[in-house]
Amino acid sequence: MELLEVKNLSKHYKSFDLKNISFALPKGYIMGYVGANGSGKTTTLNLITGMLKCTEGEVYIDGLSCGEDMRAYKEKIGYVGDESYFPEHYKIRHIRSVLKDFYPTFSTDRFNGFIRKWKLPEKKPVKDFSRGMKVMLMFASVLARDTKLLVLDEATNGLDPVMRTEVLKLLQEYVMDGEKSVIFSTHILSDLENIADYIYFIHGGRTVLYDAKDELIENFLLVKGESAKIPPALKRELIGVEENAYGFEAVLPSDKAELLGNAFLFEKPTIDQIVIHYIKSREEQ
């Protein structure tokens, strides 16, 4: 059963096109939406949340189309962005009362629980919060509601490792009952890589790769060696060859491994390494 379905989603701007984004995220799973800055990640997520009007293509959350009942649709979504969306002079009590009026499923008890757990200052206005506190306040406000989909746009940027670990646990707990899903965008996966079930990778508004993360990692090898030793047959298959004075590094589809012989070092890549070499190859074209 799909929780989030995106079909042929496109958006045209003067200087940028998002083109034919399609994927399905089943209930209880986590998707990492990755790409360089300006690749169209935020545009996609804003179309999903309804912050941008969906003019071409379709989005369904838990069976509801973004075109139908916007209020019911938005109720299903919890959004955390890279910047705080609370008025800067608000204190926690102001935010609590606004959320309570606005969202029928908002639980004051749950909200207060998170505020205590993460030791967020009740007496200070939001503008005096640290970056980490602002992010956790956004998480408290969305997790206090009954949502179906968490949409995180670069939400873990600038968090220290302890807080990132806390967020990872939160996301895994959120999908634990197998009924809710998470989509997060990031330009660097690092520790988020481990918990992602699916990876969608875009560049220049277009899909580059989309698969289960474990499949992606198995489908590629990270290859290193001496540039002078690359035979032409191998050269054609290497993706995003990055050369330095002493050797090269590139990514190779695993089914082309027989071209390597024993002149090169190869190992299991991380998703970030696959992304980096793909971006390099796209930019050379």
Partner 1 sequence: MKIIISNQSELPIYAQIREQLKEQILNGQIPEGETLPSIRQLAKELGVSVITTTRAYSELEAEGFIATMQGKGSVVLSRDNNLLREQYLLRIEEGLSTAIETAKTIGMSKGELTDIFHNLLET
- Chain contacts with partner 1 (rule: CB under 8 A): 28-30, 168-169, 172-173, 175-176, 178, 194-198, 212-214, 217-218, 267-268
The helix (run of H) or strand (run of E) holding residue 100 is helix 92-102
Closer Cβ to partner 1, 38 or 225, answer by number: 225
Q: How do strand 247-253 and strand 239-244 relate by DSSP bridges?
A: antiparallel
- Residue 93, burial from CB neighbour count under 10 angstroms (0-12, 13-18, 19+): exposed
Q: How many CB atoms lie within 10 A of CB 181?
A: 25
Residue among 160 and 173 whose Cβ is closer to partner 1: 173
Considering the complex, what minimum distance in angstroms separates the CB of residue 267 from partner 1? Answer: 7
CB of 72 to partner 1, least distance (A): 27
**How many angstroms separate the CA atoms of 210 and 133, rounded?**
33
- Which CB atom, from 212 or from 241, has the smaller least distance to partner 1? 212
Residue pair 152/182 in contact (Cβ under 8 Å)? The answer is yes
**CB 121 to partner 1: min, Å:** 29
Rounded least distance, CB 172 to partner 1, Å: 4
Nearer to partner 1 (CB atom), residue 88 or residue 218: 218
Question: 189 near 213, Cβ under 8 Å?
Answer: no
Considering beta carbons, is residue 133 or 192 the nearer one to partner 1? 192
Please report how close the Cβ of residue 168 comes to partner 1 at its closest, in angstroms.
6
CA nearest to 74, candidates 84, 59, 57, 95: 59
* Cβ distance to partner 1 smaller for residue 8 or 194: 194
Of residues 75 and 166, the one with the C-beta less far from partner 1: 166
The CA distance from 181 to 173, in Å, is 11
Q: Can you say whether residue 189 is alpha, beta or left, with left for phi > 0 and alpha for psi between -120 and 50 degrees?
A: alpha
Return the sign of the alpha-carbon dihedral for residues 259, 262, 268, 273: negative
Q: State in angstroms the smallest separation of the CB of 214 from partner 1.
A: 6
**Distance from CA of residue 145 to its chain's centroid?**
21
Least distance between partner 1 and beta carbon 191 (Å):
8
